Amino acid sequence: MATVTLTSKRQTTIPKEICSHLHVRPGDQLRFVIDPDGQVMLLSATLPVTAVKGIFPPPKRRVTVEDMNRTIRERGAKR
């Protein structure tokens, strides 16, 4: 268990082992959540790219760069 000190500006330093456990680095955002029992949880608000894997279904067919360019030209011509 890590213990930290709160400064007069209500700031603290998060111990290295906590940052490692949360997989957070400088610049990442953190979220404080108060659960119904009154306990406070510290969560990473920054998602790793692997967290979004599988969020969209796989494409029904492969799309080439040529397909994309053709669609852009066709839809651009309609304007």
* Chain segment 47-63, per-residue pLDDT in tens: 777 777 888 888 888 88
Beta strand spans in 27-77 (E): 30-34, 40-44
CA distance 51 to 58: 16
Q: Look at 17-21, 36-40, 47-51, 63-67 and tell me which has the smallest mean pLDDT.
A: 47-51
Whether the pLDDT of residue 36 is over 90: the answer is yes
Domain boundaries, the chain: 16-77
pLDDT of residue 7: 97
Residue 24 CB neighbours (<10 A): 19
